[in-house]
Amino acid sequence: MKFFGLALATGVLLALSFPRMDWEFLAWGALIPLFFAIFGQSPKRAALLGFVAGLAFYGLSLSWVTNTLVNYGNIPSVIAWPILFLLAAYLSAYIALFCFLTIHLSRNQPLYFIALAPFLWTTLEYLRSTHLEYGFSWQGLGYSQYLNLPVLQMADLTGVYGISFLIVTVNAGLFYLFHPRLRREMPWRRYRTPVSVVMFGLYALVLAYGWAALNAHEEQPVKPLKVAMVQGNIPQQMKWDPQYKEQILATYRELTMRAVVSSPDFIVWPEAVTPFYFLNDLDGTSAVVQLADELNTPLLFGSPRAEQQDGTWVSYNSAYLLSGDGNIKGRYDKIHLVPFGEFIPWQSVLFFLDKLVVGIGDFGRGSEATLFEINGYKFAVSICYEITFPDLVRRPVGNGAQFLVNITNDAWFGKSAASYQHISMAALRAVENRVPIVRAANTGITGAVDTLGRIHPTTELFEREVLIASIQPRTAPPTLYARYGDWFCYLCMVVSIALGTLAWRRTRTLPAAPQATPPGPSPS
C-alpha cells in the first residue's frame, strides 16, 4: 500500500501546483513520489500506479466538471461524477502508459529510466493534447508554471511542452540524487555528478534565457492600441431565453457607452454575446450595428450564425468585427469545437446526452484562421476553448497576426478553478508567439496578457465590468514556435523511439537495478 500512497501523493502535489492553489513550486518535485513508487516494479504494476496518480491529479483539478454537467447540462449528480471519473481515467491512461513504457524500455536501469522519462512524458502529453476533434490540452504539466516568468520565456522556442520537459527532467534528476541505494551503490554512485550537472545546467540555461527575455527591450510600435473589454455577467440560464433578449442588449449597450468614454481603438464583447443569430434576427442585428455606428468605434463580438448548406441550416459559433460605421469587416468561425458543449461525439452510443448549448443543433466547423485589422495592425480571434491549443493559436501569428483576441463564456464553470486554469493557458499562448492577448469573458475572467506572459489587469468572476487595457502589438518577426510549431515535440518522439530502442537492447548487459525502495533514510 505504501507505493499506492506515493502515487496518490504525486496526484495531490500536481493538483496543488495548478490554479487556484498556484503552488507552482510543488511541480518541481511532484513526480518524485511516483518515481519512487514505480522504480523496481514490473511494467504492469508501474502502469497501475501511474493510473492511480493520474486519477488523483485529474479528479481533483478537474472536479469543476461536475458543476458544469449538473447545473448546465441537466445531468444528475449520480451520472455527473461517473463522467468525471471517465474523463480522469482517460487522461490517467497517458500517465499509466508513461510509467509502463519508462519501466518496460529501461528495465529499471536508473540512467535509462531518468533519460527516457522527460522525452516519453512530453511525447505523450503532446499526443493527448493535439487531436483535432478530441484533444484535451487542459492541465498539461507546463501550464503549472504560468506565474514563473523566468521559466515561462522558453515557450517562444519550444511551446509549453518544453516547460513540461524541463519539469520532468528536474524531477527525474532529483529522484536519482535522492534515491538511497543509488547514492551509495556502484556503479550508480559515480553518475551522480554528471546527472547533477545535466539537470542543474539545463535549468540554469532556461533561467538565463528567461531573465534575458524579461530584460530585453523589444522594438515597440509608434502607438499602442487601447482596447475596451466588456463583461456583461449574463447568467447562463438567461442567455437563450427570448424574454431576456432586450435586457441583455440593454446591458451591453449601457456598458459599451461607459467604455467609449475612454476613447478606445476598439471594443470587445464576449463569446456568443448576442441572444440571437446575427444577420438572421433583423431587429437584434440592427441594434448591434446601430450601436457601433452611433459610437463610431469598431466592435468585435461573438454570435451564433446560421447558413443553409445543401438545403440544411448549419449553425456556427462565430466572431464578427464591425467597423465604426457599422459595416461588417470580417468574420471568424470557430474551428475547434467543444465535445459535449457544441457537439456530441459518438452520437450513436451517447444518444441520451444533450449539449450544454441548448436550443442549437450541432455546430459546424470553421476552416480558416481569419486575420482582422485595426489601425493598421493585424490580429486573429480564438473562441473559448481554442486558446488551449498551441498549434491552432500560433498559425495566424505565423501568417502575420500582431496580437490576439480571445472571447469566451466561462459561465459554465461557476465559481471554480476552471476560469483561472483557462486564463493561465492564455499566458502561455502570449509567450509562445510574443504577442499580447486581450480576453473578454461573459462572467470573467476578463483581462489582458502581455508578450512576457504577465496577466494584467483582470476582472473578478461574476461581476458586470468594463476593462480598459493598452497593448503593444508585435512588430518583430514571428517567434521560432510561431514559425515551426511543435518541432520540439517531434524531436521528443524521435528521441523516445531511438533511446527506447537503445535502452531495450543494452539493458541486458548492465548490472541489475535496485529494487523498489520507498523514500527514506539509508539503512546503516
Q: How far apart are CA 163 and CA 155, in angstroms?
A: 7
24 carries an active-site annotation: no
Q: How far is CA 287 from the centre of its chain?
A: 35
Q: How far apart are CA 333 and CA 319, in angstroms?
A: 7
Q: What is the DSSP string of 434-456?
A: T--EEEEESSS--EEE-TT--EE
Give the N- to C-terminal CA distance of the chain in Å, as an integer.
25
* Exposure string over 177-193, b if 16+ CB within 10 A, otherwise e: eebbbbeeeeebeeeee
334 carries an active-site annotation: yes
492 carries an active-site annotation: no
Q: Is residue 385 within 8 Å of 422, Cβ to Cβ?
A: no
Cell of 127: 499526443
* CA-CA-CA-CA torsion sign (355, 358, 360, 366): negative
**Alpha helix (H) ranges present in 275-326?**
282-295
Active-site residue identified among 99, 384, 489, 492: 384
Active-site residue identified among 271, 342, 386, 432: 271
DSSP β-ladder status, 465-471 and 225-231: antiparallel
Helix, coil or strand: residue 16: helix
Q: Cis omega (within 30 of 0) on the bond before 497? A: no
Residues annotated as catalytic are: 271, 334, 384
